[in-house]
Amino acid sequence: MISEAKAECENALEIEDRHPNVGKALAELDEKLKDEDKREGEVLERARPKSEFYRELGKAFTAAGPGDLKEGWDGPSCTLASTIIGDKFHASGSFERPPNLLFNLSYPGAKKVEQVKVEYSGTVVGNAITGHIERTYPESPSAASTVLGGSEDKKRVLMILSEDSREFRVMEDPSGNFPSFYTLKRPDDQPVNVES
């Protein structure tokens, strides 16, 4: 629509007795086109990681499948012990963190740290896993007893196993506006058993 209006203004510039606002309108349209191009570039740049992840996920779905995933994995917040039974993957671990300030104010005798449990569960397809991550905060009040938060956080995850079976690339909350990307890695001293 803007490009059509710009074409009309350019045609109007060729008229000898044109309205004095034609030049101003053309300048404003040029500025709007530049803004539109800039916004389009920003949207494409934000979408790039997600798009690239989905491209790699498609390749992973068609791969031969992982070998032994029963080892430990170093995650962003803790080490995870994992199992695979048939096509079902499960990994879990835990870490300590300070409870939120509101919880400490509401429960003055509460512990100064809380144990957060992290669990991944999903279905293996080729070298990919589709499933969920669940973080459980057992020291926090339940979702029913607080307005500001809950004791569980469950999100969808997509995972891609690297060709050398040393790391998973993870996209958490893929349908959200701002999914998070991170990796789960095997410790350096851990052997990799890849089935043929």
Residue 195 included in any domain: no
pLDDT (tens place) for every residue of the chain, 196 residues total: 667 766 776 666 667 777 777 677 767 777 888 888 788 888 778 888 899 999 999 999 999 877 667 678 999 999 999 988 889 999 999 999 887 666 666 666 666 788 899 999 999 999 999 999 999 987 555 444 444 444 568 999 999 999 888 999 999 999 988 899 999 999 876 555 444 3
In a domain, 110, yes or no: yes
- Specify the pLDDT at position 190: 56
Q: Are residues 77 and 56 in the same domain?
A: no
Whether residue 24 is found in the same domain as residue 79: no
Number of folded domains that form the chain: 2
In a domain, 67, yes or no: no
Residue 190 forms part of a structural domain? no
Q: Choose among 163, 165, 157: nearest CA to 123.
A: 157
70: which residues sit within 8 A by CB, 6+ positions away? 82, 83, 84
Which pLDDT belongs to residue 157? 97
At residue 189, the pLDDT reads: 62
Residues 15 and 85 reside in one and the same domain: no
Q: What percent of the chain is helix, strand and coil (3-state, nearest 5)?
A: 30, 30, 35
The letter for the amino acid at 7 is A
Residues 52 and 113 in one domain: no
Q: Which of 16, 32, 34 is nearest to 24 (CA)?
A: 32
**Alpha-carbon distances, residue 16 vs 8, 11, 21, 173 (angstroms):** 15, 11, 13, 59
Q: Of 61, 94, 112, which closes a domain?
A: 61
- Whether residues 78 and 54 share a domain: the answer is no
Q: Which residues contact 74 (CB under 8 A, 6 or more apart)?
A: 80, 184, 185, 186, 187
Is the domain of 90 the same as that of 133? yes
**The pTM is what?**
0.70
Last residue of a domain, one of 19, 35, 61: 61
Please give the Cα distance from 131 to 119 (Å, whole number): 11
User: Are residues 116 and 30 both part of a single domain?
Assistant: no
Please tell me whether residues 53 and 78 are part of one structural domain.
Answer: no
Tell me, letter by letter, the H, E, C secondary structure of 67-131: CCCCCEEECCCCEEEEEEECCEEEEEEEEEECCCHHHHHHCCCCCCCEEEEEEEEEEEECCEEEE
Same domain, yes or no, for 90 and 47?
no
Q: Indicate the DSSP class of residue 164.
A: T
pLDDT at residue number 146 = 47
Domain hosting 145: range is 72-185
Q: Look at residue 193 and tell me if it is in a domain.
A: no
Is 66 within the bounds of a domain? no
